[in-house]
């Protein structure tokens, strides 16, 4: 216990030093919100990856891989191809160039200035501020519970202390402090995951032997999963069965595509000075994602073989039905004792890197986008107002952290990713590539995508609608699709991610309305496209 506490204190000392370094280098709004647009490509890539990958990916989705197996590796493929390559090459370069041309400091500000709309900037800022604290609170709960168990400290003391530490360097140091600490934390996570995958394959006799053992374990698949369409951990699920839809529409498609419209990630494209640095970041980011999600999903699936060999039970049985416990149990029961300390610090790093970025983007969305630009004339005391916004975001997250149950990490992740994709992705993509995209088209697309996604989350997609309970209280069922003819398209919608419907609706609205609405001023478009 003493060793754990000493290592934790050393870790926090490094974090505070990097936060102090960020504070010393923060003198104006562009430093606070965009790290001065001069960030090193390695720091940018590690910050992007560490913000992208948190306890939800390693613990939450690693546990899901223990349940569903290797099909989740398709999410790793999308994370690399879409979340890194497509994001940085096709979105990142144009985002950086247009951001410089329009002097944009935040993701909502980029949208608002591209379409010359204070409403778009204010509405986008409000959506981000209102919903990112729920996502942040889920990460906060997960790491606080882990520290409570590992260090024996009261949960509420951990919760308050963790928030206080983050508040010090995020409020004072801004994005520079966030990105410096992210790079350090991401590097620690890489070391931990390398050890985890090497040890797992070694204990199972090698890659081929481990995968064959997992294939042979298919008869042990629980009956309820078989009824939902699962065939095995390496075999996957029957196409278009309920669990196939959960795996491929919510976990793989919802998160894999939703990453393109994540405001806390998009803003990082504007922190580097050139396209060359973004190209370098692709390599660093791709390697990082493979070592994070790829390792977590492989180890999560293979944990079934290890637990069945040692305890006679598959992973979900060992965890008592709670998949969020599978990876922590694997670390404590299977890995060497010294690794538990490293794992604890790496999970602390994963949570802190994601939370700091969530606090920062939530605060800038409230302070700069919603209040300064959306509600007032702006221009005065912007740095102080943004810092106040960060403080309010942290306070709201703390309140949610005290109210939400501990088993909500994966749910909150999918919820926020999907909502951002349906709301922002068409307007963002077309705004970068199509001069015919109009202000009205963007407004209708953003509002329509948000409304459609929110309706399906509240009333159709059972995973969220049942948890929220509004559909049950109004209509007496967990989902409006629940009583439809079994096997029909409407019945299957309760297992289908809302983005399968909401994102196409948002895209169609953007294109159709833009084709029939007044075009934007050509001089403004020339400014937007000046560097593209």
What is d(CA 267, CA 271) in angstroms, rounded to the nearest whole number?
Answer: 7
CA 16/CA 170 separation, integer angstroms: 11
In a domain, 55, yes or no: yes
pLDDT at 44 over 90: no
> Mean per-residue pLDDT for 392-412?
75
In a domain? residue 354: yes
- Residue 248 sits in which domain range? 2-206+238-409
pLDDT at residue number 452: 96
Q: Are 104 and 431 in contact (CB under 8 A)?
A: no
Q: Give the residue, 405 or 445, on which the prediction is more confident.
A: 445
What's the pLDDT score for residue 515?
Answer: 97
- What is the number of structural domains in the chain? 1
At 105 the pLDDT is 81
Phi-psi group of 28: left, alpha or beta (phi > 0 → left; psi -120 to 50 → alpha; rest → beta): beta
Determine the average pLDDT of the residues in 408-418.
73
Q: Which residues contact 278 (CB under 8 A, 6 or more apart)?
A: 41, 44, 88, 89, 92, 93, 96, 269, 272
Q: Is residue 218 part of a domain?
A: no
Q: In the predicted model, is pLDDT for residue 153 greater than 60?
A: yes
Residue 181 lies in a domain: yes
Query: Given a cut of 70, is residue 401 above it in pLDDT?
Result: yes
Decide if 216 is inside a domain.
Answer: no
Tell me: the pLDDT tens digits for 306-339? 999 999 999 999 988 888 788 888 988 898 877 8
- Residue 203, classified by CB atoms within 10 Å of its CB into exposed (0-12), middle (13-18) or buried (19+), is middle
Q: Sorting pLDDT into bands at 50, 70 and 90, what band is 38?
A: low
The 3-state secondary structure of 349-368 reads HHHHHHHHHHHHHHHHHHHH
In a domain, 267, yes or no: yes
Q: Greater confidence, 243 or 163?
A: 243
Could you tell me if residue 370 is inside a domain?
yes
pLDDT of residue 444: 98
**pLDDT score of 280 more than 70:** yes
| Pairwise pLDDT comparison (253 vs 531), residue with the higher score | 253
Which range of 264-278, 306-320, 488-502 scores highest in mean pLDDT? It is 306-320
* More confident: 519 or 40: 519
Reported as a pLDDT band with limits 50, 70 and 90, residue 173 is low
pLDDT of residue 516: 96
47 near 268, Cβ under 8 Å?
A: yes
Query: Considering only CA atoms, which of 390, 329, 354 is closest in space to residue 137?
Result: 354
What was the pLDDT predicted at 485? 79
Residue 200 banded pLDDT, cuts 50, 70, 90: very high
Per residue, the 3-state secondary structure of 265-326, as one string, reads HHHHHHHCCCHHHHHHHHHHHHHHHHHHHHHHHHHHHHHHHHHHHHHCCCHHHHCCCCHHHH
CATH number at residue 53: 1.20.1730.10
**Residue 338's pLDDT is what?**
79
- Whether 172 is covered by a domain: the verdict is yes
**Lowest model confidence (mean pLDDT) among 24-38, 261-275, 343-357:** 24-38
**Least confident piece of the model among 71-75, 248-252, 409-413:** 409-413
Give the pLDDT mean for 118-128. 91
**Average pLDDT rounded to a whole number, residues 373-401:** 72
Identify which of 119, 391, 91 has the alpha carbon closest to the alpha carbon of residue 270.
91
pTM of the model: 0.84
pLDDT mean across residues, the chain: 83
Mean pLDDT of 391-417: 76
């Amino acid at each position: 216990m003493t060793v754990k506490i000493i290592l934790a204190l050393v870790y926090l000392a490094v974090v505070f030093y990097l936060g102090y370094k960020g504070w010393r280098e923060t003198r104006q709004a562009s430093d606070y919100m965009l790290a001065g647009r001069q960030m090193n490509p390695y720091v940018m890539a590690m910050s992007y990856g560490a913000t992208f990958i948190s306890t939800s990916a390693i613990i939450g989705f690693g546990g899901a891989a223990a349940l569903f197996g290797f099909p989740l590796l398709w999410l790793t493929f999308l994370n690399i191809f879409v979340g890194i390559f497509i994001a940085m090459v096709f979105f990142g370069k144009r985002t950086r160039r247009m951001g410089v041309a329009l002097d944009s400091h935040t993701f909502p500000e980029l949208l608002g200035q591209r379409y010359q709309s204070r409403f778009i900037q204010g509405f986008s800022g409000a959506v981000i501020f209102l919903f990112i604290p729920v996502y942040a609170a889920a990460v906060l709960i997960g790491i606080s519970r882990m520290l409570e168990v590992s260090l024996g400290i009261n949960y509420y003391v951990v919760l308050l202390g963790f928030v206080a530490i983050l508040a010090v360097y995020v409020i004072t140091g801004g994005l520079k402090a966030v990105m410096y600490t992210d790079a350090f934390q991401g590097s620690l996570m890489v070391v931990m995951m390398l050890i985890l995958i090497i040890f797992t394959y070694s204990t199972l006799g090698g890659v081929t032997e481990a995968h064959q053992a997992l294939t042979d374990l298919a008869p042990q698949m629980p009956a309820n999963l078989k009824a939902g369409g699962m065939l095995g951990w390496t075999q996957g699920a029957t196409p278009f069965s309920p669990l196939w839809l959960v795996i491929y529409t919510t976990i793989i498609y919802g998160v894999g595509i939703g990453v393109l419209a994540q405001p806390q990630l998009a803003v990082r494209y504007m922190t580097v000075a050139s396209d060359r640095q973004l190209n370098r970041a692709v390599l660093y980011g791709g390697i990082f994602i493979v070592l994070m999600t790829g390792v977590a999903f492989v180890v999560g699936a293979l944990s079934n073989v290890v637990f069945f060999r040692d305890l006679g039970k598959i992973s979900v049985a060992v965890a008592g039905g709670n998949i969020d416990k599978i990876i922590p149990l694997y670390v404590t029961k299977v890995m060497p004792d010294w690794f538990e300390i490293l794992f604890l610090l790496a999970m602390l790093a994963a949570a802190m890197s994601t939370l700091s970025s969530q606090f920062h983007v939530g605060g800038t969305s409230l302070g700069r986008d919603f209040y300064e630009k959306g509600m007032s004339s702006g221009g005065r005391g912007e740095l102080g107002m943004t810092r106040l916004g960060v403080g309010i975001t942290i306070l709201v997250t703390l309140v949610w952290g005290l109210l939400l149950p501990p088993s909500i990490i994966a749910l909150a992740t999918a919820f926020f990713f999907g909502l951002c994709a349906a709301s922002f992705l068409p307007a963002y993509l077309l705004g970068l590539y199509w001069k015919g995209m109009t202000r009205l088209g963007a407004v209708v697309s953003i509002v329509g995508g948000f409304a459609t996604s929110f309706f399906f989350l509240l009333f159709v997609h059972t995973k969220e609608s049942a948890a929220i309970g509004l559909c049950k209280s109004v209509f007496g069922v967990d989902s409006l699709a629940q009583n439809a003819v079994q096997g029909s398209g409407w019945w299957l919608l309760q297992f289908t991610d809302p983005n399968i419907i909401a994102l196409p609706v948002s895209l169609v609205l953007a294109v159709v309305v833009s084709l029939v609405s007044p075009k934007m001023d050509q001089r403004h478009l020339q400014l937007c496209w000046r560097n593209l």
